[in-house]
Amino acid sequence: MKYLTSIWTTIILASLLIGIRVSDPTPVEQLRLNTFDSYIRTIPETDFGNGVVLLNIGEEALAKYGQYPFPRHQYAQMLSDLREANAGMIGFTIMFPEADRFAGDEVFASWINSNGVILAQDADPDGRSKTAPYIGTVTFGSGDPLDWLIKYDGLVTNIPQLEKEAWGHGLINAMPEVDGLVRRIPLVSQINDELYPSFALETIRVMQDRLSYTIKVNEVGVEEVIIRPFRIPSDANGSFWINPNYKFTEIEYGSELPNLGGQAVFIGLTAKGLASQIPTPAGLMPAHQIQAAAIQSIMDEVSISRPVWTDLLEILVMSIGALVIVLAVYHLPIVWSMIIFFATVASSVGASFYFWYESQILLDMTYSMILYIMTFASSSFSNFYKQFMLRQQIKKQFETYLDPKQVYLLQKNPELLRLGGDRKEMSFLFMDICGFTPIS
């Protein structure tokens, strides 16, 4: 118990917990992501009835137009219907990697050419393509994006006849976390040392009529991606956090199209059994809804981010906080040590909320609270045990020949035990009582 209740035991425990945070195993990452989900859920749901439209190829469309996949001339007709309905930019999150069995590629390509269409690509290690059309990038800063961006070894692309007519091409890859939920998408990915934009980023580029985009990189990762007038914050690996709290207008393909008023339209497959829904903290979503949420997040400048310096800041602050708690418990009265403990916890929580509500920066407060509680509990128990054993020792040594009140004073303040005693000037009164012996 002497070693278990030493201050060094508590310091070693705190160091071990900090080491676990540095190594960041799956349970710690999962806990952090759950905390971030609670932050993002505080963003109010926004109804974009006049912003982005999702055109769903679902059960009704299959019942009306027959077996999926549709012939390509059906997609040409879809583009014609959308143009008549005054649609704006049109994006397909479904892909056309093989030639049409009904020989409709030529007519579909002709409609892609003049109607502002963006096609999807998919980064996949099993993809047969090694290159695909892409837009060049400009890089500035002190780092190389190839050192940080997510890397894939292959591509799934559309047939060249369609690719060359599209206004833009972007990757629809999501970025599942350790729990399988999608919270982020990579803004830019690397395939065979070439940089490819995401579908959302490419859509923004086409909408803004820009020729390229810019990546800012420093020594610790990607800092941001720039498409004027948007500066899009990213994580170190170039990923972007999505705000899932958008409610878009959804139209089932095959129903009558209203006047779309120039709104962008994203087309995706929602029919059961044909398209797998993507799990997110907000529930299951089709691919085109996730891309639409990412695009709207960028255009609204919703800068949910976890900058490259956040991990270092969290580890540094929690280390200082744990040390302060240990020193307070061992060197201050219990009341003051509790005040400092609660002040440290409140400061951590307050700082996390401040960064979120002021700048939408994600800081993890949960692990630091666990560290503070464990450190305070360990140091308080050790200190209490040492004080208890000392009081028991004093009681055992002095209870047979000191007044109980004196023993209590020594237990309360062991510093009264000093070798050599005290020298004082004192007066003593000796009294005798008549008849004391008979009284006794």
When mean pLDDT is compared across 46-55, 112-121, 358-367, 430-439, the lowest value belongs to: 46-55
Q: How many CB atoms are located within 10 Å of the residue 422 CB?
A: 6
pLDDT at 145 over 90: no
Greatest mean pLDDT among 28-32, 42-46, 190-194, 219-223: 28-32
Would you state the pLDDT for residue 200? 92
Contacts of residue 88, Cβ cutoff 8 Å, sequence gap at least 6 = 116, 260, 262, 263, 264, 265
Residue 103 gets the label, from left (phi > 0), alpha (psi -120 to 50) or beta, of left
pLDDT at 134 over 70: no
The mean pLDDT of 168-190, rounded to a whole number, is: 89
Res. 10 pLDDT band, cuts 50 70 90: confident
Would you state the pLDDT for residue 332? 85
Would you state the pLDDT for residue 49? 53
Order the strands of the 188-191 sheet from edge to edge: 151-152, 188-191, 194-197
Would you state the pLDDT for residue 130? 65
C-beta separation of 378 from 10 below 8 A? yes
Would you state the pLDDT for residue 27? 92
Distances in Å between the Cα of 16 and the Cα atoms of 188, 319, 375, 405 are 36, 11, 11, 44
pTM summary value = 0.79
The percent of residues in the chain predicted with pLDDT above 90, rounded, is 33
